[in-house]
C-alpha cells in the first residue's frame, strides 16, 4: 500500500482506540509510515528489517509505555503489506528466518490495483461510519444525558 494509506489507517486506528489529541494522532500517522520511510531512505536491507515483525513487536512494546493508543501503527503497516505485496512475506521474521509464503499480490499492477482501490474505499467507509456513530452518540448525550433517549441497537428490547 502507499504511504498515505498507511498514515491514514494508523491515525484512524489510534482514533478508534480512543486517542483524541491531534498531536498524538499525527504521531500515530508517522509511526504508521516509518517502515516505508526507513526503507526508502536507507537501503533494501532496511526494508526487510523495517517490515519485519521481529523489529515491529519490540517497537510496539516500547510505544505501549508512551501511549498505548498509538502503539500499533507500525504493526498495522506490516500486517496490511502482507496481502498487498508479493514479496512482503519473505521477511516477516527477518533476520531470524526467511520464509516465502506466496500469498501477496502486487497492488500496483493488474488486479492488485483493484485491491488497492477497494482498500481505500473500505477505509473511507469505515471512517465515515465511525464519524456518523460518534455524531449520533453526541446527539443522544445532548438530548437527555440522564436517561436513555437513544437506546443502543445492541441492547435487548423491552417489549
- 14-35 pLDDT, tens digit per residue, is 999 999 999 999 999 999 998 8
Look at residue 54 in the predicted model and tell me its pLDDT. 86
Q: How many domains does the chain have?
A: 1
Residue 158 lies in a domain: no
Residue 154 lies in a domain: no
Question: Domain containing 92: what range?
Answer: 3-143
Residue 78 lies in a domain: yes
Sign of CA dihedral 96, 100, 105, 106: positive
Residue 155 lies in a domain: no
Residue 94, classed as helix, strand or coil, is coil
Predicted confidence (pLDDT) per residue in 48-84, tens digit: 888 888 888 999 999 999 999 999 999 999 888 887 8
Residue 152 lies in a domain: no
Residue 153 lies in a domain: no
Amino acid at each position: 500500500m502507499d504511504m498515505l494509506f498507511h498514515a491514514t489507517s494508523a491515525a484512524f486506528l489510534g482514533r478508534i482506540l480512543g486517542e483524541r489529541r491531534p498531536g498524538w494522532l499525527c504521531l500515530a500517522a508517522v509511526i504508521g509510515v516509518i517502515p516505508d520511510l526507513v526503507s526508502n531512505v536507507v537501503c533494501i536491507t532496511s526494508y526487510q528489517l523495517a517490515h519485519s515483525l521481529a523489529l515491529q513487536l519490540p517497537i510496539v512494546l516500547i510505544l505501549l509505555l508512551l501511549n498505548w493508543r498509538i502503539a500499533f501503527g507500525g504493526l498495522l503497516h506490516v500486517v496490511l503489506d502482507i496481502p498487498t505485496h508479493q514479496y512482503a512475506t519473505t521477511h516477516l521474521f527477518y533476520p531470524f528466518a526467511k520464509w516465502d509464503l506466496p500469498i501477496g499480490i502486487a497492488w500496483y499492477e493488474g488486479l492488485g490495483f483493484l485491491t488497492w482501490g477497494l482498500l481505500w474505499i473500505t477505509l473511507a467507509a469505515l471512517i465515515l461510519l465511525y464519524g456518523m456513530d460518534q455524531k449520533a452518540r453526541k446527539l443522544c448525550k445532548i438530548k437527555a444525558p440522564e436517561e436513555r433517549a437513544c437506546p443502543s441497537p445492541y441492547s435487548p428490547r423491552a417489549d
